[in-house]
Structure 1
C-alpha cells in the first residue's frame, strides 16, 4: 500500500480545519488569512469577503470537533452509513453448478509423515473422515512445523496450542461418534492477527497494540469452529495491515528467505506456502490477499465485498475491508469460503448481499465466456510468457476468451477513501501521539498517512463515494454477457475491483527467472464465487503450478 501516498496530495483535497484546533483551553481565533491559507490546500478560490463570512461557522465546526473527540470510539464502532456494492440494475444470474462437491479421491496416509505438510484440505479431510489419522495427531504435526520454521519465516504472532489441542480432541470425539461436520472437521488452520480470539492476544501487528486482548471471537473464528476446524496460530500482518513488517520483524516468503512475503496477509500466505498449515484466513483492503499470494505462490480468494462477516476484525476501511481464505487450490478455498459466507447482524453489509454459495465444480467450462484485459496482456512486462501460457491453456480447455476494456475513470484518484477511513479508525492513535511507537515512520507509512488524511475534506470524501458509484455501474455494464475476466496480477485492475467489490482469485501460474512464484488473477461477477472457483479449479486440474512448493532447507 506504499503506492497510495502519491495520490494523497494529488487526488485528495486537504482540509485544514482539523489542524487549526489546538490543545489549549482557548483556541486560536480563526482569521481570514488562516482561512485563505487553508483554501490553498483545497484548490479553492473564495474571496476574502466570503471567507470572512464563513469564519463563525468554521469556529463552530472546530468546537464540534473538540466536543466529539471527548467521546471514546473503539476501532470496532462502525459508521452509521453502510457501503452497498450492488449495482442499481443488478439481477442474480441463473443457478450455475449442482452445489455438490465432487467425490473425493481415495487418499492413503503417506509412509513419510512429512509429506502431509503439503496435502490439500480435501485430502487431509478424507484422512480424518476415514480415521487414518486423528485430528490431534495432525494438529500436533502442524504445531511442530510452526515451531520449527517460524523462527526463520517470522509468520506467527501467537501459537494457540492449548486451544488447538482442545478443539482437535473434541473433533476426534465427534468423528468417532459419527458426527461428521464436513470437510473442515478436524483440519488445522491459522488466522491473520487482526481477527479477535478469546483468550489470546490480537495485536494487529503493531507495537501500540502488541499486548491487546479482545474478549470476543471474530465471526470467521466462530464459523470455522462451528465447521470443526482447529485454530493453531494467529498469523502475522504488516503493521496495521500494511506490508510485511510488524513489531517482530519482517515475514519472509519460504521461496527465498531474503525476500519478504508481501502484505498485509503476510503470515497467512507464508505459513500455507511453507506447509505449516493447510489453509489460513487473510484479509484484503487494497491487495492484501492477492499480493502475498503472489509472493508465496499460493491460491488466495478475495470474495465479493460483504460476503464474509468482518465482525471482530480490525477495521481499516469500512467500505473496502474483505476477509478471505488463502490455501493451496481453488477447491480448498471453496471449502473454506462455504463455511464462512453468510449474513451476520454484527456486520450489516452482509445483510445487503446474497448469502448463498453453490459449488459448481461439475460445470462445463466450455460454456464460459471469460474476458481478458487485452491491452494489459499485450504490453511488455516481466514474465509475460507465463500469463500467455495461461491464456493458451484456457483456450485449450475450450474456454471462450473475449477482449475486455475496463472503465477509463481513474480509480487511483479516489484511493484516499481508504486513507480517510483509516485515519478515522485510528484517530485516537494519531491524536494521542502513540503512533510514534510504530515500527515504520517514513513518509509512506501509516503515521504520516493518518496525519495527512486528517486534511481530506468531508465534501471530497463524499464526492469520491459518488464517483465510486459510477465505477460500480460502469463495471456492471461492461461485464454483461461475461462469466468473469482475467488480468495480470498487478494491473490497475487491482485497485478498481477493490473499489467495486468484485471477487478475485490469485492463481499460481509459473515462476520468475529468479525462481520466485508468479500468479495471474481471475475475477468473477459480483457474488458468483462458485463459478469463479470452478473456472480456476479447471485450470489447476490441467496444470501443476498449485502443487509446487518450496524446499525448506533451513
Structure 2
C-alpha cells in the first residue's frame, strides 16, 4: 500500500499494457523480444508460463509492439478521453424522491461593514445581497478582491495568473445588467478564482508544472462558461501542485494563511488558501484522491466534492478519467450549494455527466431531525490526533436531534486498486514521459509524478480491468450498507477518503475545530450518490449550530 500514501492528496488510470520496449522512439530500432526477456518480465506479474508457451507469447508481443508504434503516430492530447466511461451507479440504485422546496433561505438584511476590509470574510450570499441591492458595485468588489490577491499572494503563493482585465470587463457587465433589472441570481457580480487546470481563453493554463507553464488553450472550460453565464467574475487562476499533486508548483509552495510557514496541502492548494485568506469568496477545485478535502482541512474552509459525473470536466486537465471530480470551495455549505447549483448539469463533452441526474435541488428546509445519519464507529473509536474535535461534532449533531447509526465500510481492499489512478495518469501524460520533458518538473523524487508515471507503464491491462471489476463489487456493497441512511460521518483522513473517491460518493469537508498548534481541522460529511442537496442541508444545520465556519486567520504578513 506504499504507493497509496505517496499519492495523497491528489486532485484528480487508459490502462497500462505490456511494457517491453515501451519507451523506444521512432528513430530507435527496438531489440528483438526473446524468451529470456519475456521470462524475466513475467516474474513482475507473478506468472509461470513454460518456455514453450513463452516462445509463442513473444511473437504476439512483437506484433503488439508494432501496434503501439503505429498508434503513437496519432496525436493524443490530454483533452481526448477514452471511449469507455466509468459509471458509479450501483446495480440496485433507484432515483430518490425530490426533497425540499428548492428555495434558498432568505439572506436577511445585509449592510456594508463600517470597515471595508471586513468584506473579505462576507459570505457569497451576503455579498450577493449587497450587489442585488446595489449597496456596492461588482466593479468595486472586484477591485477589492484583486487588491487583496496582489497584496497577500507574495506570501501565500496562491495565484498563477491574475485575470484582471477579464475580471473588470465582467464586473462592469454585471453592474450594467443589475442596474437594468436583469439580475441573474446569487452569483451575479461575485468574484471567484479557478484552479489553474481549467482552460481560460486569453490566459495561460499551466497545470502548475514547468513543461506547461507557458501553455495557452483556446477555449473556456465548462465550469468557466457556466459561472460566466451565472454572472460570476473570474479574478484569478489559482495554484495547484504540479499536475495535481500536493502544493508544490514551479512558483514555490502554496501556504496556508493560518501559518505561512506551512503548506496549504493540495492539490487544490491555491483555491483553498485564497478563500481562507479572504482574497475571494469562493473558488473552484478538483479532487481525485483528496485534493478538495485535504486543502480544505489545511486552510479551514468548506469544500464540496460532488458525486462523480455531476459537474462537467470539459476543458479541465485530465489525470484520471474515472476518478476526477470538480467542486466548489467556500466558507459554508450554503455558499457551496449556490456555486454547485450553477455548475451541475449534463454536457456532451464529458460523457460521465450523461449517466447521472442532471438537476440539483436546494433542500435547506428539510427537517434534519428526520434524517438517519451513519457514523464510522470503529474509525471514531480508534486513537488519532484531534479526536476530541470529532467527538464534539457527533455530540453537536445529537443535540440537534439527529439519529446517529453505527456503520461499517465494505471490507474490500480499496487501497489495493488505487493503481487505477496512476495507470490512467500515465496514459494522460504518456507524451510527457516518452519525450523526457518530465525531467523539467520540480519534484523528481521517488514518490513524484515522473517516477510514478514510469512505474505505471508496467501495470498490465488485464490487472487494470480486474481492478475496475473489483470496483463494481465495492460500489454494490457500499450501496447495500448505506441503504436506509441519508448520509454518514467520517474522520477526514480515514480509509473512507480512498474508498469513496473510488465509488464516487459526494463529501463535504467541514471545519470543526483546531489542533493544539492552532491549525484548522475538518470532519467529513458523506452523502448518498447524487443527493448533494440533502447532504448540504445537514452540513448547514451543523454550521448554523456552531461557529467554526465563521472563524478566519488573522493576516499579519
TM-score exceeds 0.5: yes
Secondary structure class of the residue paired with 2:391: helix
| Aligned match of 2:130 | 127
Mind listing any 5+ residue stretches in structure 2 that lack a counterpart? 9-14
The reply to whether residue 209 of structure 1 matches residue 212 of structure 2 is yes
Distance 1:54 1:7, change over 3 A: farther
Secondary structure class of the residue paired with 2:362: coil
The reply to whether residue 157 of structure 1 matches residue 160 of structure 2 is yes
The reply to whether residue 47 of structure 1 matches residue 26 of structure 2 is no
Equivalences for 1:27-426 in 2 at 5 Å?
Answer: 27-426=30-429
Equivalent of 2:433 in 426, 430, 437 = 430
Secondary structure class of the residue paired with 2:63: helix
Secondary structure class of the residue paired with 2:243: coil
Distance between the aligned counterparts of 1:440 and 1:174, measured in 2? Answer: 46
| Aligned match of 2:474 | 471
User: How does the TM-score come out when normalised to structure 1?
Assistant: 0.98
- Superposition deviation, residue 16 in structure 1: 3.4
Distance between the aligned counterparts of 2:186 and 2:489, measured in 1? Answer: 29
The reply to whether residue 500 of structure 1 matches residue 503 of structure 2 is yes
- Superposition deviation, residue 26 in structure 1: 3.2
Q: How many residues align?
A: 551
- Superposition deviation, residue 95 in structure 1: 1.4
| Aligned match of 2:12 | none
The reply to whether residue 4 of structure 1 matches residue 4 of structure 2 is yes
- Superposition deviation, residue 53 in structure 1: 1.3
CA RMSD of superposed structures (Å): 1.5
Distance between the aligned counterparts of 1:110 and 1:283, measured in 2? Answer: 33
Distance between the aligned counterparts of 2:74 and 2:22, measured in 1? Answer: 19
- Superposition deviation, residue 7 in structure 1: 9.4
Distance 1:18 1:540, change over 3 A: farther
Distance between the aligned counterparts of 1:536 and 1:253, measured in 2? Answer: 23
| Aligned match of 1:481 | 484
Distance between the aligned counterparts of 2:364 and 2:275, measured in 1? Answer: 23
Preserved CA contact (<8 Å) 2:187 2:230:
yes
| Aligned match of 2:520 | 517
Query: Segments of 4+ in structure 1 off by > 3 A?
Result: 5-8, 12-16, 18-26
- Superposition deviation, residue 23 in structure 1: 5.2
Distance between the aligned counterparts of 1:53 and 1:83, measured in 2? Answer: 34
Q: Which has the higher contact order (CA 8 A, sep 6+)?
A: 2
| Aligned match of 1:541 | 544
User: How does the TM-score come out when normalised to structure 2?
Assistant: 0.97
Distance between the aligned counterparts of 2:270 and 2:3, measured in 1? Answer: 21
- Measured against aligned partners, the alpha-carbon deviations of 1:391-449 in whole angstroms (never above 9, x if no partner) come to 00000001110000000001010000000000000000000000000000000000000
Distance 1:147 1:6, change over 3 A: closer
Mind listing any 5+ residue stretches in structure 1 that lack a counterpart? none
Distance 1:24 1:41, change over 3 A: farther
